[in-house]
């Protein structure tokens, strides 16, 4: 196995440090052992979606009732993950790595997934940056100010939890002898684990992971088998790995206990997000009728009844099984030029984190270092000196199957401004992604691929359902094209012809319309986008 399709002038510096013969042998072993099962599970996703299309329903699995009724707990949490009250998320570029590690957060979600466009440069440099951090070789100089940044003392640094790519996305730059690409999930996990597991143990920590876009307990079982194999291969004690699973698909919400059970020797918690979860609802119920039509994405908060059912069930499930419950993202980027708007936005963040802490969550996410103190204050007020609140079992929570998909409990309806915002955000995000940037500041929010997914999915759903917007206009392909054309003209006027032409705005516009207006719904925007990604 060797890297393919990388032009010599695009070969990342220090690539040979990452792709040693021993590392490639390990990736080859992972690939040959587990990719066939990955392929089977992706096919199961398709079959399950067909069943949802037929029934417009989901339920807790009768065949796993014995797991939900059983008396078991996940493995004891390692000391480095006991206190997770604030977690900061972001890609693995050098600047972000230093800022995240120094942020004062307890955990840094080092993201190879939604916050990172998977150029080969990003894949390799991300691996190097994490190892450099553990070797205390990580620093950077701000190109504008010339200011130098270095790591704080080790005891002040956030604990790293790496997030590999989801099962669906292959890594085109690594192929076996038959030309089959290695799953990106195995590349990201495999390189990080192989390079750093022993080093992390020497530092008193371990190889910790976030697992994205899991759709079933069978997929969690696959990850667990990967962990067992990897630990044996590298001579690492079984149970060293710890994994937190993002419950960001609607199908996984019905299998939280089963997912923890499959990973019980390696599980450390579950996380409740928003955009990917809503994206999954739209994806699975996109043609199931008016009662599943979501309003504007910004109108669907965590306090919506079906979102409350999901978030409270997650806390109860985690604490029943001894796992951490981690809350959702505060994506606001502080804006010092508008103190009034800044204060109002920070108050919303504070209220959101207060709600999570009082609901029983053990920690939560932020996207910017300035939000770390806000989130920490909310959890400090509830936790005090305790590292978590797993003793809060939330036995008052009683969620039925229908509660999780009661989308029609919302009074809000789709609006023209919601449609325009979906177009604006979609184009802006895709353009940055095509240039190799996966974490993008848009309208004072830090956005990642999940934002683009929910935006384009809502356009598809509204047009397919023939939704009538608040202006009286019907959501149609023609309306979406007109709004997108207006947005492209506005961007050209804002940026100027030279900057507009230098960017990838037309390609982003075309790709958004392709996935939003296609008769055949595309499962992941990043699949056709990856074909257009340079490098």
448 noted as active-site residue: yes
Taking the CB of residue 187, how many other CB atoms lie within 10 A of it?
25
Q: Where are the beta strands (DSSP E) in 310-451?
A: 324-330, 363-366, 440-442, 445-447
Copy the structure tokens of residue 57: 């329903």
Is residue 330 a contact partner of residue 274, using CB atoms and an 8 Å limit? no
Tell me the C-alpha distance between 244 and 221, whole Å. Answer: 14
166: DSSP letter: P
Tell me the C-alpha distance between 530 and 122, whole Å. Answer: 13
By C-alpha distance, which of 113, 109, 117 is closest to 243? 109
- Site of tokens 């990580």: 138
Q: Determine the angle formed by the axes of helices 477-495 and 449-465, rounding to 10 degrees.
A: 140
163 noted as active-site residue: yes
- Site of tokens 């299309």: 53
Specify which residues 243 forms β-bridges with.
Answer: 209, 267
Of the residues 165, 264, 448, 456, which is catalytic? Answer: 448
Q: Where are the beta strands (DSSP E) in 339-415?
A: 363-366
* Cα dist from 164 to 54, 105, 209, whole Å: 33, 20, 8
By C-alpha distance, which of 52, 205, 59 is closest to 134? 205
Copy the structure tokens of residue 492: 């050209």
Taking the CB of residue 65, how many other CB atoms lie within 10 A of it?
11
Is residue 193 a contact partner of residue 234, using CB atoms and an 8 Å limit? yes
* Cα dist from 109 to 87, 393, 462, whole Å: 7, 26, 33
The two most distant CA atoms of the chain are separated, in Å, by 65
Of the residues 163, 195, 286, 428, which is catalytic? Answer: 163
Tell me the C-alpha distance between 316 and 253, whole Å. Answer: 12
List residues with catalytic annotation: 163, 448
């Amino acid at each position: 196995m060797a890297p393919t399709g990388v032009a010599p002038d695009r070969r990342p510096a220090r690539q040979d440090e990452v792709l040693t013969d021993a590392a490639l042998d390990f990736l080859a072993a992972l690939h040959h052992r587990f990719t066939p099962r990955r392929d089977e599970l992706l096919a199961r996703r398709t079959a399950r979606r067909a069943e949802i299309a037929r029934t417009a329903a989901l339920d807790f699995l009768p065949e796993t009732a014995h797991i939900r009724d059983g008396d078991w707990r996940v493995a004891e949490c390692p000391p480095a993950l006991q206190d997770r009250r604030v977690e900061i998320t972001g890609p693995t570029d050098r600047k972000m790595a230093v800022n995240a590690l120094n942020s004062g957060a307890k955990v840094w979600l080092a993201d190879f997934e939604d916050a990172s466009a998977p150029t080969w440069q990003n894949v390799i440099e991300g691996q190097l940056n994490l190892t450099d951090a553990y070797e205390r070789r990580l620093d950077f100089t701000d190109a504008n100010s010339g200011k130098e940044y270095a790591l704080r003392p080790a005891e002040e640094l956030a604990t790293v939890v790496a997030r590999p790519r989801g099962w669906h996305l292959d890594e085109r730059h690594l192929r076996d002898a038959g030309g089959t690409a290695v799953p990106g999930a195995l590349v990201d996990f495999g390189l990080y684990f192989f390079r750093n597991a022993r080093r992390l143990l020497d530092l008193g920590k371990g190889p910790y992971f976030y697992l994205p876009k899991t759709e079933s307990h069978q997929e969690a079982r696959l990850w667990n088998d990967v962990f067992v194999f990897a630990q044996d291969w590298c001579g690492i004690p079984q149970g060293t790995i710890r994994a937190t699973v993002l419950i960001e698909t609607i199908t996984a919400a019905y299998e939280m206990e089963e997912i923890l059970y499959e990973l019980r020797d390696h599980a450390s918690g579950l996380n409740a997000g928003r955009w990917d979860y809503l994206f999954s609802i739209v994806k699975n119920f996109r043609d199931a009728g008016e009662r599943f039509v979501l309003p504007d994405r910004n109108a669907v908060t965590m306090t919506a009844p079906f979102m409350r059912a999901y978030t409270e069930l997650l806390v109860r499930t985690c604490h029943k099984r001894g796992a951490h419950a981690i809350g959702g993202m505060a994506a606001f980027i502080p804006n010092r030029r508008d103190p009034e708007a800044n204060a109002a936005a920070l108050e919303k963040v504070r209220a959101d984190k207060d709600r999570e802490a009082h609901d029983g969550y053990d920690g939560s996410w932020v996207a910017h270092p300035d939000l770390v103190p806000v989130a920490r204050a909310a959890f400090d007020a509830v936790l005090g000196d305790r590292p978590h609140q797993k003793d809060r079992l939330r036995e008052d929570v009683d969620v039925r199957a229908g509660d999780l998909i009661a989308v029609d409990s919302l009074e809000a309806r789709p609006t023209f401004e919601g449609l325009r915002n979906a177009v604006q955000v979609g184009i802006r995000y895709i353009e940055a992604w095509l240039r190799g940037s996966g974490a993008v500041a848009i309208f004072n929010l830090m956005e990642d691929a999940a934002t683009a997914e929910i935006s384009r999915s809502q356009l598809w759903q509204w047009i397919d359902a023939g939704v009538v917007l608040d202006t009286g206009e019907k959501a149609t392909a023609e309306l979406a094209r007109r709004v997108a054309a207006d947005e492209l003209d506005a961007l050209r006027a804002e940026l100027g012809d030279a900057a507009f032409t230098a960017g990838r705005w037309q390609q982003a516009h075309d790709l958004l319309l392709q996935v939003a207006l296609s008769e055949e719904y595309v499962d992941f925007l990043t699949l056709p986008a990856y074909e257009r990604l340079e490098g």
